Amino acid sequence: MRIAVVTLFPEMFDAVSRYGVSGRACEQGVLDLRCFNPRSHTSDRHQTVDDRPYGGGPGMLMMIQPLSDAIEEARQWAESDGKSAMVVYLSPQGKVFDQSAAKHFAAPESGNLVLLAGRYEGVDERLIQAQVDAEWSIGDYVLSGGELAAMVMLDAVTRLLPGALGHQQSAEQDSFSDGLLDCPHYTRPEVFQGESVPAVLLSGNHEKIRQWRLKQSLGRTWQRRPDLLEKLSLNEEQQKLLAE
């Protein structure tokens, strides 16, 4: 998958292109990530990328022309492998990003992505109308720039790409993938500060372990995120385990 990021701070993306799951995905060619900087589309000595808002008031906006040119360059690169690319503006006013959105963007039929990270007070509304396909938010709070939001989205999408994780199953067992929170996990030693690992996990009985994990997932979701359970239609086994 190709992901282009339009940003004034390309170095920030070293955090995802060099480390962890997304870093490995870049190294192995599962993800092709490239940044496009509006600053390289400026013509003045100071490489100006901000401008004053009409109507006055505090703060600046991203200058329209360099930004528009960088989006176009990013889109062309993202589409040059023959797939279409959706331009997403990271914005607190967008739809709130979640695991089902991550799954949607990771699906091969969704094509590639151009992520636009805003700065200052944001971008000119006409540019959004002309060049942006969708606005996505990572939550109801305001960040100083769209880079962290773009990285959140990028990381969540990348770990769902085939070949990104060592075990594809790990993504399937993560919280939200089946609508439930993940079960608790344990590693060595068997006893830590007087607390033992639940005996069933040492039993070697895979069916019992599966049932225990499912029951824990259901219990946690019921305790911590009952809103998630309301959205699910539980199967017979899940209903029985939840009632026990």
**Where along the sequence are the contacts to ligand SAM (CB under 6 A)?**
90-93, 117-119, 121-122, 137-139, 141-146, 149
Is 142 annotated in a binding site? The answer is yes
**Minimum distance between the CB of residue 70 and ligand SAM, rounded to whole angstroms?**
14
* CB count in 10 Å sphere of residue 42: 17
Q: Is 226 a catalytic residue?
A: no
The active-site residue, picked from 39, 53, 79, 92, is: 92
Tell me the Ramachandran region of residue 40: left when phi exceeds 0, alpha when psi lies from -120 to 50, beta otherwise: alpha
Is 139 annotated in a binding site? The answer is yes
**Minimum distance between the CB of residue 93 and ligand SAM, rounded to whole angstroms?**
5
Q: Is 34 a catalytic residue?
A: no
Instruction: Classify residue 194 by burial, with Cβ atoms within 10 Å: 0-12, 13-18, 19+.
Output: exposed
User: Which position has the token pair 């480390």?
Assistant: 19
Is 81 annotated in a binding site? The answer is no
Closer of 123 and 165 to ligand SAM (Cβ): 123
The active-site residue, picked from 14, 81, 98, 121, is: 121
Closer of 111 and 145 to ligand SAM (Cβ): 145
Q: Is 159 a catalytic residue?
A: yes
Comparing CA positions, the residue from 61, 90, 220 lying closest to residue 153 is 90
* CB count in 10 Å sphere of residue 174: 15
Q: Is 174 a catalytic residue?
A: yes
Cα torsion 84, 155, 116, 93: sign? positive
Find the length of the chain.
244
Closer of 73 and 147 to ligand SAM (Cβ): 147
**Minimum distance between the CB of residue 63 and ligand SAM, rounded to whole angstroms?**
13
**Minimum distance between the CB of residue 89 and ligand SAM, rounded to whole angstroms?**
7
Closest residue to ligand SAM in the complex (CB): 118
Is 127 annotated in a binding site? The answer is no
The active-site residue, picked from 2, 75, 119, 159, is: 159
CB 50, CB 63: distance < 8 Å: yes
Antiparallel, parallel or unpaired: β 32-36 and 50-51? unpaired
- Active-site positions read 92, 121, 159, 174
